[in-house]
Chain A
Amino acid sequence: MSIVLEHVNHIYESGTAMEFPALTDINLVIPDGQFIGLIGHTGSGKSTLVQHLNGLLKPTGGKIYYNGSDINADGYNKKELRSKVGLVFQYPEHQLFEIDVFTDVCFGPRNLGLDKKEVELRAYAALKQVGLSDEYFYQSPFDLSGGQKRRVAIAGVLAMKPEVLILDEPTAGLDPKGRDEILDQIAKLREETGMTVILVSHSMEDVAKYVDRIIVMNKSRVLYDDEPKKVFSHYKELEAVGLAAPQITYIMQALKEKGLPVDTEITSVAEARTAILNALADKSRSR
Chain B
Amino acid sequence: MIRDITLGQYYQTDSVIHRLDPRVKLVTTLAFIISLFIVDNAAGYIIAGLFLAVVIKLSNVPVKFMMRGMKSIAFLLVIAVVFNLFLTQGEVVFSIWKLQITKEGIRLAIMMAVRLVFLIMGSSVMTLTTTPNNLTDGLEKILNPLKAIKVPVHEISMMMSIALRFIPILLEETDKIMKAQIARGADFESGNLLKKVKSMVPLLVPLFISAFRRANDLATAMEARCYRGGEHRTKMKPLIYSKRDFMAYGTVCVYLALCVGIGRMLF
Chain B associates with chain A:
yes
- B13, B184, B201: the one contacting A95 at CB < 8 Å is B184
Write the chain A residue with the least CB distance to B60: A17
Interface of B is mostly: helix
Task: Say yes or no: is A83 at the interface (Cβ < 8 Å to chain B).
Answer: yes
Evaluate whether A17 and B11 lie within 8 angstroms (CB atoms) in the complex, with A97-B205, A97-B206, A142-B209 already known: yes
A51, A83, A86, A94 — most chain B CB neighbours (10 Å): A94
Evaluate whether A112 and B185 lie within 8 angstroms (CB atoms) in the complex, with A92-B180, A94-B176, A97-B205 already known: yes
Q: Are A95 and B181 in contact (CB under 8 A)?
A: yes
How far does the alpha carbon of A57 sit from the alpha carbon of B71 in the complex, in Å?
A: 21
How far does the alpha carbon of A108 sit from the alpha carbon of B182 in the complex, in Å?
A: 9
Q: Are B179 and A89 in contact (CB under 8 A)?
A: yes
How far does the alpha carbon of A97 sit from the alpha carbon of B12 in the complex, in Å?
A: 35
Chain A contacts for B209, CB-based, 8 A: 94, 142
Write the chain B residue with the least CB distance to A85: B183
How far does the alpha carbon of A89 sit from the alpha carbon of B209 in the complex, in Å?
A: 17
Q: How far is the CB of B245 from chain A (nearest CB, A)?
A: 24
Count class of interface residues, chain B: 20 to 34
Task: Say yes or no: is B217 at the interface (Cβ < 8 Å to chain A).
Answer: no
Q: Are B180 and A89 in contact (CB under 8 A)?
A: yes
Q: Are A108 and B184 in contact (CB under 8 A)?
A: yes
How far does the alpha carbon of A18 sit from the alpha carbon of B210 in the complex, in Å?
A: 26
Task: Say yes or no: is A75 at the interface (Cβ < 8 Å to chain B).
Answer: no
Q: Are A56 and B179 in contact (CB under 8 A)?
A: yes
Chain A contacts for B201, CB-based, 8 A: 97
Per-residue CB proximity of B153-169 to A under 8 Å, as 1/0?
A: 00000000000000000
Number of A-B contacts (CB under 8 A): 65
Chain B contacts for A51, CB-based, 8 A: 179
Q: How far is the CB of B46 from chain A (nearest CB, A)?
A: 29
Task: Say yes or no: is B91 at the interface (Cβ < 8 Å to chain A).
Answer: no
Task: Say yes or no: is A15 at the interface (Cβ < 8 Å to chain B).
Answer: yes
Q: Are A97 and B202 in contact (CB under 8 A)?
A: yes
Q: Are A82 and B62 in contact (CB under 8 A)?
A: no
Evaluate whether A89 and B176 lie within 8 angstroms (CB atoms) in the complex, with A17-B12, A97-B205 already known: yes
Task: Say yes or no: is B111 at the interface (Cβ < 8 Å to chain A).
Answer: no
Task: Say yes or no: is B65 at the interface (Cβ < 8 Å to chain A).
Answer: yes
17 contacts between A and B (CB under 8 A): A15-B62, A16-B62, A51-B179, A54-B183, A56-B179, A82-B184, A86-B183, A94-B176, A94-B209, A95-B206, A107-B186, A107-B202, A108-B184, A111-B184, A112-B185, A142-B209, A156-B184
Q: Which residues of A contact B (CB under 8 A)?
A: 15-18, 51, 54, 56, 79, 82-83, 86-87, 89, 92, 94-97, 107-108, 111-112, 142, 156-157, 160
Given A16-B11, A56-B179, A89-B183, 4 additional A-B pairs, CB 8 A? A16-B62, A107-B186, A111-B185, A112-B185
